[in-house]
């Protein structure tokens, strides 16, 4: 059986599962014949005891044996096909939803500011797949046959039927108790295990810091406490479930013996035959098996329902991008109007009423003290974070008018925290494209001034390891700069692009900025070092999330000097910057400095804005 391959992105979990409804109907048909053939054994025993033993007919025995062997062979083949079809159904469901889910998880990561817990939905998809392809799901198709088996026993003998119905009722109550008693500790165990997992992951990502500063033992202690907590709750849940599971198994065996005893009494009284007694015992065992299996696999069903609910909520709360009209390649004109922005949670306002325009071929430098909103502005300008209000327009079109994938090709972004992917240098420069042009990859590296460096480390096919661990911090930054320049995007945003660069790397960066400006690209930089600021055509000054000044570089600097006036050491009053204890100033000799109250009195960051020569 095959339901056909589908690469369609389903919008919800229900749609992904519902698309396999015809295949599930097929599974139900297979289950019908499998459970029907389950009666072969009891009926064979009935004929052996009531016909063969009384007639002592060997031909009858051989005919019955051959028939039951054939029926069991068919049943086995149907079981095999059913299990394989379920595996393929679960794979098709995952295939339908995985791309949509991946996009939703990435969107969740942006909203949670890169919180690694946001990848949990991908594990929940595995939970759904494993349950749908496992024995716990098969029980749902076998359970409707419990009344059928009980009805057969009633047809044999009402007395044995009532006994079987009572036993089935007891096991059903045990199954409900099992879920009720094990639910709370299982939930606590899952939460503690997740926290322990996150601690271990954080330790692995920051191994150098742990080793250098003796933090391994405290982290190990915290992880051990959480892990033991998870194990304790897990033991509690398993103890409770194990108690009821052991009871159900012992009870089922007891009831099978009890129905034999009750059947023997009825045989002695002449109400039924010995064959009926044996057949009723076997059928009762088959009737109770789905109920007992539901107790064993109950937690799997609960986890499946929780995973399905969580994924449904995630996908419902994640916007689906409607098809957009294909806009032409932009020239790079960027305009920001009355922009307000918050953190991903929406609770902390970071940027307030930002307004500026940058024309193609010009370079804008954004300056300001720490925590003034520079990096937040860079994230909003790239579309990584959504603005709370206001407009960002690229060539007159707001970001929501662009297809996000196509827009990304026109933006080059170098963030503060460099993240490269496990693969070759060429794959990272090409933004993970499957078959990039070698000429485009080399061209981007040469524009970034990284071509010679790449040849020194082994060439473009050198694998850099997870996160680029095989490269130094400066090398990673230069590869990331080449990635930002890949395809000559009209808009390039560089956040502290020289934070890890040596002298050679800085010279390559400055040449790259000049090259971008000469090619007509719009360049936005966030930096404090002299040369980067000297390359700026325009300056945007931020302080405490507000726009202090914007315009041509010399115009802004002159304005800052005039506002400073004759104050001691050129320092501006806090009221002029909109915050107390934090400011930006131009010192005597043409230096740009930031003062941060958080760093203590007199703490400042200073760079010469005008060279001594």
- 110 — pLDDT class (breaks 50, 70, 90): low
Q: Report residue 603: phi and psi, to 5°.
A: -75, 130
Tell me, what's the pLDDT at 606? 40
Burial of 154 (0-12, 13-18, 19+ CB in 10 A): middle
Find the largest Cα–Cα distance for the chain: 124
- Residue-wise pLDDT for 171-193, tens only, equals 888 877 777 777 778 777 777 77
Strand, helix or coil for residue 140: helix
Tell me, what's the pLDDT at 528? 66
Separation CA 444–CA 488 (nearest Å):
8
Strand, helix or coil for residue 350: strand
Separation CA 513–CA 521 (nearest Å):
9
Whether 490 has a pLDDT exceeding 90, the answer reads yes
Q: Which residue has the higher pLDDT, 311 or 122?
A: 311
Whether 71 has a pLDDT exceeding 90, the answer reads yes
Alpha helices in 206-215 (DSSP H): 207-212
- Residue-wise pLDDT for 514-528, tens only, equals 999 999 999 999 876
Rounded mean pLDDT of 589-609? Answer: 41
- 467 — pLDDT class (breaks 50, 70, 90): confident
Q: How far apart are the first and last CA of the chain?
A: 81
Whether 15 has a pLDDT exceeding 50, the answer reads yes
The pair of structure tokens assigned to 166 is: 């009572």
Of the listed ranges 51-65, 84-98, 233-247, 402-416, the least confidently predicted one is 233-247
Tell me, what's the pLDDT at 404? 79
- 233 — pLDDT class (breaks 50, 70, 90): confident
Whether 612 has a pLDDT exceeding 50, the answer reads no
Picking from 561, 481, 566, the residue whose alpha carbon sits closest to that of residue 525 is: 481
Mean pLDDT over each residue of the chain, to the nearest integer: 81
- 426 — pLDDT class (breaks 50, 70, 90): very high
Element (H, E) at 249: helix 216-268
Rounded mean pLDDT of 446-461? Answer: 92
Tell me, what's the pLDDT at 596? 43
Taking a C-beta distance cutoff of 8 angstroms, is the pair 140, 293 a contact? no
- 7 — pLDDT class (breaks 50, 70, 90): very low
């Amino acid at each position: 059986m095959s339901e056909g391959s589908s690469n369609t992105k389903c919008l919800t979990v229900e749609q992904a599962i519902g698309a396999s409804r015809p295949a599930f109907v097929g599974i139900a048909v297979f289950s019908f014949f499998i459970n029907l053939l389950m009666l072969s054994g009891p009926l064979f025993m009935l004929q052996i005891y009531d016909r063969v033993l009384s007639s002592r007919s060997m031909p009858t025995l051989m005919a019955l044996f051959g028939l039951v062997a054939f029926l069991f062979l068919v049943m086995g083949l149907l079981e095999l096909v059913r299990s394989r079809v379920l595996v393929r159904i679960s794979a098709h469901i995952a295939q339908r939803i995985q791309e949509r889910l991946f996009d939703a998880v990435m969107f969740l990561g942006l909203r949670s500011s890169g919180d690694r817990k946001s990848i949990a939905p991908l594990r929940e998809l595995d939970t759904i797949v494993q349950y749908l392809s496992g024995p716990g799901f098969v029980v749902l198709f076998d359970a409707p046959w419990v009344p059928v088996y009980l009805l057969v026993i009633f047809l044999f003998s009402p007395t044995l039927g009532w006994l079987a119905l009572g036993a089935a009722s007891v096991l059903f109550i045990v199954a409900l108790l099992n879920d009720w008693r094990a639910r709370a500790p299982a939930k606590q165990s899952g939460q503690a295990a997740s926290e322990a997992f996150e601690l271990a992951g954080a330790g692995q990502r920051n191994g150098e810091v742990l080793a250098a500063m003796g933090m391994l033992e405290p982290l190990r202690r915290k992880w051990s406490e959480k892990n033991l907590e998870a194990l304790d709750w897990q033991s509690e849940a398993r103890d409770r479930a194990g108690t009821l599971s052991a009871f159900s198994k012992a009870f089922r065996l007891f009831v099978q013996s009890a129905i034999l005893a009750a059947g023997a009494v009825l045989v002695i009284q002449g109400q039924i035959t010995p064959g009926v007694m044996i057949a009723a015992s076997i059928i009762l065992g088959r009737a109770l098996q789905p109920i007992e299996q539901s107790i064993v696999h109950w937690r799997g069903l609960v986890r499946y329902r929780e995973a399905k609910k969580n994924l449904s909520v995630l996908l419902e709360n994640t916007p689906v991008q409607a098809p957009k009209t294909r806009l032409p390649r932009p020239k790079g004109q960027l305009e920001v109007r009355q922009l307000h922005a918050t953190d991903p949670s929406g609770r902390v306002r970071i940027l307030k009423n930002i307004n500026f325009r940058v024309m193609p071929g010009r370079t804008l430098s954004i300056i300001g003290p720490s925590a003034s909103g520079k990096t937040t502005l860079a994230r909003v300008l790239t579309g990584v974070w959504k603005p709370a209000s206001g407009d960002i327009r690229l060539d007159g079109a707001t970001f929501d008018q662009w297809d996000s994938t196509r827009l990304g090709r026109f933006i080059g972004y170098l963030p503060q925290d460099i993240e490269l992917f496990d693969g070759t240098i060429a794959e990272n420069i090409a933004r993970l494209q499957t078959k990039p042009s070698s000429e485009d990859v080399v061209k981007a590296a040469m524009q970034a001034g990284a071509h010679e460096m790449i040849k020194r480390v082994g060439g473009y096919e050198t694998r850099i390891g997870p996160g680029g661990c095989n490269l130094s911090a400066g090398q990673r930054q230069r590869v990331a700069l080449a990635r930002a320049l890949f395809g000559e995007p009209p808009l390039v945003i560089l956040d502290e692009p020289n934070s890890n660069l040596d002298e050679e790397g800085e010279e390559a960066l400055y040449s790259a900025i000049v090259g971008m400006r000469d090619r007509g690209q719009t360049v936005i930089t966030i930096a404090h070092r002299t040369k980067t600021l000297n390359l700026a055509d325009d300056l945007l000054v931020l302080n405490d999330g507000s726009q202090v000044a914007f315009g041509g570089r010399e115009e802004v600097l002159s304005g800052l000097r005039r506002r400073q006036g004759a104050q001691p050491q050129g320092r501006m009053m806090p009221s002029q910057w909109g915050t107390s204890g934090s400011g930006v100033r131009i010192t005597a000799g043409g230096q740009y400095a930031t003062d941060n109250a958080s760093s203590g009195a007199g703490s400042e960051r200073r760079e010469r804005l005008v060279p001594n020569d």
